[in-house]
Structure 1
Amino acid sequence: MEPMDCLVIYVPTVAAQAVRQAIGDAGAGRLGNYSHCSFSAEGTGRFTPLPGATPAIGAVGSPEEVPETRIEAIYPRSRRSAVVNAALAAHPYETPAFMTFAIDVGVPGGAGPAD
């Protein structure tokens, strides 16, 4: 089984569906006979655009709070560039907050979900 990674990305809630669709189309969220699988949680994003920023929301020097959605999806490590690039292309922010990390999808003492 190919190594798997996870993408976690924070998106303004109004753009969450577009980002979920883009990463799913790029290969994230494939589990067995399912595609576009992800988990989302709602929250509040906070930031202050600094001089030189071109914010999609808010103004330079002014603290901002935005309803955001945390999206999590797993993907085969070989799809990392495609998934991250799709997420960034669909995301409205100038500098999206995201992380990727390796995960273990194996079942202890048994086969993994794709085996």
Structure 2
Amino acid sequence: MYKIETFIPKESLQELRQALLEVDAGHIGNYRGCLSYYPVTGVWFSDEGSNPTVGQKGQWSEEPELKVEVNVDDANKDKTVEAIRRVHPYEEPVINAIRLE
């Protein structure tokens, strides 16, 4: 079992929820699409070669985001990460796959 977490702008939540549902991420018993999210503040510096969705090249950015967490079976980890990458609006999304014991 893995916990997959990512950070997205609030306006991307519904698209991400649908993508996760389509790959059966967050399936717990008779419930599907189970996930958690909460507000965080993302901070980053965009290097000159970047193409930032938010902020400017060569500057620090600080934006409200949602941290989204979903649990998936081992066999579903790669499909879930691919689904997140497909809908994530950032050029370089942070996607953490944490093995649960």
TM-score per shorter chain, which class?
over 0.9
Residue 39 of structure 2 corresponds to which residue in structure 1? 42
The partner residue of 2:15 within 18, 41, 61 is 18
The answer (yes or no) to whether the contact 1:23–1:84 under 8 Å persists in 2 is no
Deviations 1:62-84 (A, max 9, x none): 11111100000001111111100
Q: Which residues of structure 1 form unaligned runs of 5+?
A: 105-115
Aligned residues: 101
Q: TM-score, normalised by structure 2?
A: 0.94
CA distance in 1: counterparts of 2:41 and 2:10, whole angstroms? 10
Report % sequence identity.
29
Q: TM-score, normalised by structure 1?
A: 0.83
CA distance in 1: counterparts of 2:88 and 2:4, whole angstroms? 14
Residue 64 of structure 2 corresponds to which residue in structure 1? 67
Q: Which residues of structure 2 form unaligned runs of 5+?
A: none
User: Following TM superposition, where does structure 1 have runs of at least 4 consecutive aligned residues deviating by more than 3 angstroms?
Assistant: none
RMSD: 1.0
